[in-house]
Amino acid sequence: MGRFDHLATQPRRGPSDILRWKLIEPFRGTRRRDPAPFVTPRRPHDGDVVKSADASLLWIGHASFLLTLGGKRILIDPVYCERLGPMRRLVAPGIAMAELPPIDLVLITHNHRDHLDPWTIARLGDRPTYVVPLGNAPFLKAAGASAKIVEIDWWQTTGVGSVEITLVPSRHWSMHYPWDRNEALWGGYVIRGPEGTAYHSGDTAYWDTFAEIGRAAGSIDWAMLPIGAYEPRWFMEPQHMGPEEAVAAAKLLGARNLVAMHWGTFRLTDEPVGEPPGRARAAWGETEGERLWVLDVGETRALKG
C-alpha cells in the first residue's frame, strides 16, 4: 500500500483495465482519429518578453510553462525529453533549453514521467530552487538536483522573494516506477506574485475541490488547466478532465482566464490529437472567448492582473 493511497483517485485502474483499453477495445474499432493529419500549432517565442523581468507566460508544451512573476523565472513541470518511452514528441519545445533565462524556481506537480523528467532535471542542475510535493525529493536528487529542494504538503506555502507558492490538492495519483505507486504526493500550485495569481492544476480529474481552491486563493487571474488525455472516458474520468470539465473547473475556481494545457505534445490517450481546443472553445462560448487562452506552443503573453 502506498503512503498516499488514502488521497488517491478512485476507482483505481489496474492491469485488467489496461488490458481492456490497449488490447481488447482496439479490435472493436471505436477509437477516433484526426480527420486529417494534425500538426500542433507552434510559433517562435518572444525573446524580448522572455529576457524581461516583467510578468509573462510561455507555453513550452504539454504541462510545461515558463512563468515570470515578481521578477522570478519559474519553470512548471518542465519536460524537454524527445521521448516518453515509445511516444515521441509531436512538436518541439516552445523555447529551447539553451535559450531559457536563468531559472529561479522549478515547480513539479507529481512524479509521472510526462511531468517529472529526470533528463530535464539533470540539465537544469542545482541552480534553481525546486518545490515538490511530499516524497518527491529523492527523484530530483537521483537526477542530480540536490542543493535546494523544498517538499511541501497540501495547503502548505513556501516563497522566494515576493512570490508565494501553495501546494493545493488534485484528484490524481503518483507512480514513477512500477513499485512506488502513491509513495509520493501529487497536487497543483497557486502562485501569487505582485502582478497577480496563477494556478497550475497538474494532472487532475474534475471535482468540487476546485471551488475550495478558488476561495483559498482569493482570486485567480490565470488558471492552467488540462484539456487533453481524456479518452477512453471510462478509463480516464477518475484521473483526467476533458475540455468541457476544464471549462467547468475554471468557473468553480473563479478564474479570470483559462490557459489550456496537456494536449498536442504527446499522444497519451485515444482522442484525436487536434480535438481538445475545439471542444474547449465550444464549452467556453463565444461571448468571452478572449478569456480562453488556447496558446500555440512557444506563444508568449505578457500578464496583466
Instruction: List per-block mean pLDDT (blocks of 10 residues) for the chain, which spans 305 residues.
Output: 91 76 66 80 95 96 98 98 93 97 97 97 95 97 90 97 97 94 97 98 97 97 97 90 97 97 95 95 78 97 86
The CA angle 35-39-40, to the nearest 5 degrees, is 115
CB half-sphere exposure, 180, CA atoms < 13 A: 14
Residue 20: per-residue pLDDT? 73
- Show the DSSP H helices in the chain as ranges: 15-19, 47-51, 118-124, 137-143, 209-217, 233-236, 243-253, 275-284
Our count of domains for the chain comes to: 1
Full-model pTM: 0.95
What is the residue whose three cell numbers read 513499485?
179
Count Cβ atoms below 10 Å from residue 158 Cβ, excluding itself.
15
Range of the domain at 252: 40-302
Do residues 7 and 185 touch, judged by C-beta distance below 8 A? yes
Residue 8: per-residue pLDDT? 94
Q: Copy the grid coordinates of residue 153.
A: 504538503
The verdict on residue 160 lying in a domain is: yes
Q: For residue 284, what is the domain's CATH number?
A: 3.60.15.10
The verdict on residue 15 lying in a domain is: no
The verdict on residue 14 lying in a domain is: no
Residue 215: exposure state from Cβ atoms within 10 A (0-12, 13-18, ≥19): exposed
The verdict on residue 221 lying in a domain is: yes
Bridge-based pairing of strands 56-61 and 64-69 is: antiparallel
The verdict on residue 66 lying in a domain is: yes
The verdict on residue 141 lying in a domain is: yes
The verdict on residue 24 lying in a domain is: no
The verdict on residue 20 lying in a domain is: no
